[in-house]
Amino acid sequence: MGLRRSDSAARLFLGFLVLSMAPLSIHARFVVEKNSLRVTSPDRIRGTYDSAIGNFGIPQYGGSMAGNVVYPKDNQKGCKEFSDYKITFESKPGALPTFVLVDRGDCFFALKVWNAQRAGASAVLVADDMAEALITMDSPEEDGSTAKYIENITIPSALIEKSFGETLKKAYNSGEMVNVNLDWREAVPHPDDRVEYELWTNSNDECGVKCDMLMEFVKDFKGAAQILEKGGYTQFTPHYITWYCPEAFTLSKQCKSQCINHGRYCAPDPEQDFSTGYEGKDVVLENLRQLCVFKVANDSKKPWVWWDYVTDFQIRCPMKEKKYNKECANAVIQSLGLDVKSIEKCMGDADADSDNRVLKEEQDAQVGKGSRGDVTILPTLVVNNRQYRGKLEKGAVLKAICSGFEETTDPAVCLSGDVETNECLENNGGCWRDKSANLTACKDTFRGRVCECPLVDGVQFKGDGYTTCEASGPGRCKINNGGCWHEARNGHAYSACTDNGEVKCKCPPGFKGDGVNSCTDIDECKERKACQCPECSCKNTWGSYECSCGGELLYIRDHDACISKTATRETRSAWAAVWIILIGLAMAAGGAYLVYKYRLRSYMDSEIRAIMAQYMPLDSQAEVPNHVNEEQRA
Ligand SMILES: *[C@@H]1O[C@H](CO)[C@@H](O)[C@H](O)[C@H]1NC(C)=O
Ligand SMILES: *[C@@H]1O[C@H](CO)[C@@H](O)[C@H](O)[C@H]1NC(C)=O
Ligand SMILES: *[C@@H]1O[C@H](CO)[C@@H](O)[C@H](O)[C@H]1NC(C)=O
């Protein structure tokens, strides 16, 4: 019981921390990004009305969209699937897209938009259900079921005032064609030829759907961000939110595990569980490190390296592999050619009971100024000091940034969306490489450089792409000996690469060692007790040995023994016996032939004699009549 109570106390406390976030200003100030919605017909209600862009879907920053308003007969709140009511908003080819008007209430904004999108809507207008100032429609806090569809919302949506909603409904219900034009062209101010933008982010990679989405975005957007930055078109600044621990709690266990600098800078526990895994403090420290990576890179006029650092850190040092720590971070910093010492100096002392300069600036920046409200939601993107609304997705964000340039000053990347650089040229992009074999894991892609083990001559290399890549699968030994030891001497060549099995490098017989860096010759005479019979004399060679036997003896390697040569004579006599049998057989065959031949001839002789006897008297008469008689009888 005691345990459970303290657990729920911890939760409550966490809730308190989250609720009291950004507590530097007493009343958080939300600024609603408005864009204009223009009614083009019917004439009676022509004019421009305010609307607030939803915080999901893909708004067309810099563009506009014209459409026909439809107010469904049933399911007017859009909380159920429209197909249940046999309603579809698919517009016929050539017709204007459909703007579906739904009423606020009963379910999440995002669900209404999702249902309308699935029924074929091109945009959604949500009519407020009470007379009040417009608010921003936010996506619901993710739980398993909502997260799935929010990801897939692509159509834009906007909240409109109750009275304007009534006007639209009345016109639609009286059978009039209601045409509107949603315009995002003024959504981002575009005063000059440089866009300033900032991303409020977090290094925590285990917070579920929102973290995954943020990491995906950073990876995708990196290429474009780096081009814009290198070309001087943008000035990007990353930001990190921290909370402070209320003074009364600074000495509590919870604050100690979530905060650094005596409760001044805190982050919620990544797993929301104080007993396991990483602590909020670990997140604050990594956030601070990422800020310092930016500062140090920015000071050396290479602010874009921050994008490489955060993406590499995500890949190489994830929490679930227990690598979310200083050692792993420093390895990434070094591979990017940044100075670890300067970054540590910038981070300062986390245990000091004093302000941290860098994090103090961040807390101050959290407070809204000008047209930007307080930053309380992660992630938040701010473009030209306006909060970006919509899905955090490469194309949509690029549109928003590009719409922030003064006309005709947009860089090429805004016009084509293409990204062309080769970041592998410098320091090999911080990726793995094997100089001797001229192999690299660095690939230049439209998303910026990625470190991926290469495919060479049909052989796939495997590894993290940063520090290791190894050839794997059949044929791996063809490439650089599969990274294993190999050496040739006096016309003999040996390789430790094995083509199959778990062990990749194994010294060949006659050698010992790790098989990767070295294999050394085994002195078989000494170490293996080879060739040790009394008559033997052993001589070690590289990779093998030679053994010779004294006197009449012969060395048999398979048995490592000397044997007498007489054994060989016996073998010979055995062969002789075989020969004798064979010759005997041949002679018997020849004899049989001769006998046959002889009998044939004697038969022939008697025949001839019988014939001749008919003409002349012969000495031996006795034989003849017999034969003739027989002849005649026949
Ligand atoms: C969202 O889109 C993905 C890919 O297009 C799809 O696999 C997934 O089923 C969709 N989710 C929902 C809830 O429709
Ligand atoms: C980055 O450097 C530029 C000048 O190169 C400077 O104007 C800017 O304030 C720096 N940003 C940060 C956050 O230090
Ligand atoms: C390394 O390989 C690349 C392409 O794979 C080639 O352009 C380059 O000339 C090679 N360098 C050396 C030293 O062989």
Ligand nearest to the CA of 425: 3
Q: pLDDT value at position 575?
A: 59
Task: Please tell me if the domain spanning 5-18+190-408 has the same topology as the one spanning 34-183.
Answer: no
Whole-angstrom Cα distance, residue 372 to residue 383? 10
pLDDT score at 77: 92
148 CB under 6 A from ligand 1?
A: yes
Asked whether the CA dihedral 137, 142, 148, 152 is positive or negative, the reply is: positive
Alpha carbon of 389 to ligand 2 centroid (Å) = 26
3-state secondary structure of 593: helix
Q: Give the whole-angstrom CA distance, residue 580 versus residue 574.
A: 10
What is the predicted pLDDT for the residue at 347? 96
Residue burial 591-603, b: 16+ Cβ < 10 Å; e: rest? eeeeeeeeeeeee
Nearest CA to ligand 1 atom 2: 152
From residue 144, give the alpha-carbon distance in Å to each of 150, 204, 205, 210: 11, 19, 17, 11
Q: Residue-wise over 554-582: b if at least 16 C-beta within 10 A, else e? A: ebeeeebbbbeeeeeeeeeeeeeeeeeee
Per-residue model confidence (pLDDT) at position 598: 65
Two tokens at 478?
A: 């063809």
Q: How far apart are CA 358 and CA 354, in angstroms?
A: 12
- pLDDT value of position 331: 95
Question: Token pair 């909060």 is at which residue?
Answer: 387
In this prediction, residue 572 carries a pLDDT of 52
| 157-160/123-127 β-pairing | parallel
Bridge partners of 158, per DSSP, are 53, 125
CA-proximal residue: ligand 1, atom 5 (nearest): 152
pLDDT given for residue 606 in this prediction = 67
pLDDT at position 185 is 64
Domain ranges of the chain: 5-18+190-408, 34-183, 423-472, 481-519
Number of H helices, E strands in the chain: 16, 28
Write down the pLDDT at residue 447: 59
pLDDT of residue 634: 36
Atom of ligand 2 nearest to the CA of 301: 5
- Of the bound ligands, which one is closest to the alpha carbon of residue 303? 2
Q: What is the pLDDT of residue 75?
A: 92
Q: At what angle do helices 326-335 and 305-316 cross, to 10 degrees?
A: 140
Shortest-distance ligand to the CA of residue 148: 1
The rounded Å distance from CA 295 to ligand 2 centre is: 8
Out of 56, 145, 152, 393, mutate this one to test ligand 1's pocket (max ligand atoms within 8 Å of CB): namely 152
pLDDT of residue 515: 86
- Whose C-alpha lies nearest to ligand 2, atom 6? 298
**pLDDT reported for residue 61:** 67
Cβ atoms within 10 Å, residue 308: 25
Which tokens is 629 given? 């008689």
Q: Is 149 in the pocket of ligand 1 (CB under 6 A)?
A: yes
Residue 530 DSSP symbol: -
User: Best mutation site among 234, 235, 299, 362 for ligand 2, i.e. most ligand atoms within 8 A of its Cβ?
Assistant: 235
In angstroms, the CA 116 to CA 102 distance is 9
Residue 151 Cα: closest atom of ligand 1: 1
Query: In terms of Cα–Cα distance, which of 33, 22, 59 is closest to 385?
Result: 33
Q: How far is the CA of 149 from the centre of ligand 1 (A)?
A: 7
CATH superfamily of 5-18+190-408: Glutaredoxin (3.40.30.10)
User: Of ligand 1's atoms, which has the minimum distance to the CA of residue 148?
Assistant: 13
Q: What is the pLDDT of residue 500?
A: 67
Protein residue closest via CA to atom 6 of ligand 1: 152
- Residue 101, both tokens: 């008007």
3-class DSSP state of 393: coil
User: Is the link from the previous residue into 379 a cis peptide, with omega within 30 of 0?
Assistant: yes
What is the pTM (predicted TM-score) of this model? 0.58
pLDDT at residue 370 in the model = 67
Residues 229 and 303 sit within 8 Å (Cβ to Cβ): yes
Looking at domain 34-183, which CATH architecture does it have?
3-Layer(bba) Sandwich (3.50)
Q: In the prediction, which pLDDT does 548 show?
A: 83
Atom of ligand 1 nearest to the CA of 149: 13
| pLDDT at residue number 318 | 93
Radius of gyration of the chain (CA): 45
Question: In the chain, which residues have pLDDT < 70?
Answer: 1-35, 60-63, 93-94, 139-147, 185-188, 370-371, 373, 376, 407-410, 415-423, 445-448, 500-502, 565-580, 591, 595-634
Provide the 8-state DSSP code for 516.
S
- pLDDT score, position 261: 93
- Measured between its terminal Cα atoms, the distance across the chain in Å is 131
476-481: which pairs have CB atoms within 8 A and are 24 or more residues apart? 476/504, 479/437, 479/439, 480/434, 480/436, 480/437, 480/439
Determine which helix (DSSP H) or strand (DSSP E) holds 157, and give its type and residue range.
Answer: strand 157-160
At 5 the pLDDT is: 34
| Nearest partner of 304 among 212, 401, 219, 237, judged by Cα | 237
Q: How far is the CA of 163 from the centre of ligand 1 (A)?
A: 36
Nearest to 453 by CA among 424, 431, 483: 431
Q: What is the pLDDT of residue 305?
A: 94
